[in-house]
Structures are given as structure tokens and as C-alpha cells.
């Protein structure tokens, strides 16, 4: 896993206004190779919009997004509706937008536990299988940045825990950075190298443990935050990764917070 100073993607002072509402305000964010970054925030805090700005689906009203050379994004959307008039097998879905050799498809399906479903229609998959197919498609081109939007949605607690373990595995085997968005505090904390707490603007960020202790974070999530912190402290698999800027909430966050509240 490389961890040099080069950034994969960077947002500089990104603000987005949709229909007169400020969805994002002055968000600065840089993702470095191989790190797992989790964006947490309440519903409607702009998390999904932030991801959509980064993939280029939403144009920032102010600020800019800079993509590093050779950036390959694997994107797993929050939900995907496939029109019933569109026939699409799992195999065909994995071949979008680039076609892959049969053995690559087979390997990918095997890793996702979908080897029996290559010729099944996407619309016949269960929620969990559909999620795994989305993930397999995002990974098949070996991205260096995997983006997950509420990917654990609809999974039960065990499923969610497995899912985040899987995310760590993917990072370790592929060496890709992971940027994920979630409102699910409990499990998110375990897998992240860095947590960004978003409520239209970034209110605090850093190492998960530091963030869960930050007053801004606790103000946003209340007692849920206590439980998440407790969970985190009892987790025997703490992350050994280094965090140059990890152990404090950014001063910038403190200033923004007052304007936000």
C-alpha cells in the first residue's frame, strides 16, 4: 500500500446550492492513496451530494474539484433502479462500461459470491446480492479510489459488520483508497482511518476516536455518539495506521460550526 503525498482527488472550497438551499459550504477534502475515509453526518447533511460532486455529477456553485492523473473511480451508488424494460444479466452489468475477459468476470463473480448468478437478471437478485453485484462492478477495473454511498443500507447488523470487514480487505488487497458515506455510526468507526463529520460544512475530522470525542460530533449525534464511542473503545482491532493530521479537529471546523448552527 503506497502512502505518498500525492492526492487522488481534491475538493477546494466546494459549495453547492440546490434550489436556493446551501447543501455544501466551503468543503475542503483530499483523498490520499490507500486511506479509508468515512463521511458521517445526519440525513440531509450533504453527504451524497459531496460524493456526486467528486464524481462530477454535480457541479459546485463555488470551489473546484481536482482529479489526480490516473484516477480510476469505482463508484457504488446508494441505490440503483434498473428499469424493468432493460434486460440486464449480472454478467452484462459487470461488462459496463468496459468489456472484460470471461475469466475476469468469473473471478469477480466468485469474489462477490455470485458465481451461480452470472446469467441471472439484475432485477431477480436479492438486496444483498444486488449490493454485491454493484460492488463487483465497481472493483472489476481495479480502481484506485472506491466510493461507497450508504452501501450498508438495508443490510442487518451482521451483514453490515461483514461488509466493513470486506471493505478493509479490499483496501488491503487492491491498495485502493476508500471514501464512504454513512449515517451508521456504529460500524463505520471501525474501518475508517479518518472520519469526516459533515453537516453542510465539515464540522470536524480526524482519527475516529478523536472525532467521536469532539464536541461538534457529539452535538450532531447526541447519545448515539456515546454508544459508537463505547463500541470503538472496546474494539480490539484498532487501526495501526499513521495519521499526520488525525488527532485533532481542524480549527477551520470550529469556526464554520457557529455559522452552521
Binding site for another protein (CB under 8 A): 52, 55-57, 73-75, 77, 80, 82-89, 92-93, 96-99, 119, 121, 123-124, 147
Instruction: Write down the least CB distance from residue 145 to another protein, Å.
Output: 10
Q: Cα-flanking dihedrals φ and ψ of residue 191, to 5°?
A: -90, -15
Are 195 and 211 a contacting pair, CB within 8 Å?
A: yes
CB nearer to another protein: give 122 or 220: 122
Give the DSSP H or E segment for 147.
strand 145-149
Three-state DSSP at 249 gives coil
Nearest residue to 205 (alpha-carbon basis) of 251, 143, 154: 251
CB of 71 to another protein, least distance (A): 9
- Nearest approach in angstroms of CB 141 to another protein is 9
Closer to another protein by Cβ: residue 94 or 249: 94
Question: Of 11 and 249, which has the nearer Cβ to another protein?
Answer: 11
**Distance between CA atoms of 179 and 151, rounded to whole angstroms?**
11
User: What phi-psi label fits residue 70: left (phi over 0), alpha (psi between -120 and 50 degrees) or beta?
Assistant: left
- Residue 173 CB, shortest distance to another protein, in Å, is 21
Q: How far is the CB of 103 from another protein (least distance, A)?
A: 19
Q: Which is nearer to another protein, 123 or 173 (CB)?
A: 123
Q: What residues contact 7, with CB distance under 8 A and at least 6 apart?
A: 30, 31, 32, 68
Pick the closer one to another protein by CB: 33 or 77. Answer: 77
Amino acid at each position: 500500500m503506497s502512502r505518498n503525498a500525492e492526492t487522488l482527488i481534491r475538493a477546494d472550497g466546494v459549495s453547492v446550492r440546490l434550489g436556493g438551499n446551501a447543501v455544501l459550504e466551503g468543503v475542503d477534502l483530499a483523498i490520499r492513496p490507500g486511506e479509508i475515509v468515512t463521511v458521517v453526518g445526519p440525513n440531509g447533511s450533504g453527504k451524497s451530494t459531496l460524493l456526486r460532486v467528486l464524481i462530477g455529477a454535480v457541479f459546485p456553485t463555488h470551489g473546484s474539484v481536482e482529479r489526480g492523473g490516473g484516477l480510476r473511480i469505482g463508484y457504488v451508488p446508494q441505490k440503483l433502479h434498473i428499469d424493468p424494460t432493460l434486460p440486464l444479466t449480472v454478467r452484462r452489468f459487470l461488462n459496463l462500461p468496459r468489456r472484460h475477459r470471461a475469466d475476469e468476470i468469473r473471478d469477480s463473480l466468485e469474489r462477490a459470491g455470485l458465481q451461480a448468478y452470472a446469467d441471472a437478471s439484475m432485477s431477480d437478485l436479492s438486496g444483498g446480492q444486488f449490493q454485491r453485484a454493484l460492488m463487483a462492478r465497481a472493483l472489476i477495473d481495479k480502481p484506485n479510489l472506491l466510493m461507497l454511498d450508504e452501501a450498508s443500507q438495508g443490510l442487518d447488523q451482521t451483514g453490515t459488520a461483514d461488509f466493513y470487514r470486506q471493505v478493509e480487505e479490499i483496501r488491503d488487497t487492491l491498495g485502493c483508497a476508500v471514501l464512504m458515506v454513512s449515517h451508521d455510526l456504529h460500524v463505520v468507526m471501525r474501518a475508517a482511518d479518518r472520519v469526516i463529520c459533515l453537516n453542510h460544512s465539515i464540522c470536524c475530522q480526524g482519527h475516529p476516536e478523536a472525532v467521536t470525542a469532539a464536541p461538534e460530533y457529539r452535538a450532531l449525534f447526541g447519545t448515539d455518539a456515546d454508544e459508537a464511542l463505547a463500541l470503538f473503545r472496546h474494539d480490539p482491532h484498532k487501526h495501526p495506521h499513521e495519521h499526520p493530521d488525525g488527532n485533532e479537529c481542524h480549527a477551520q471546523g470550529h469556526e464554520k460550526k457557529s455559522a452552521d448552527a
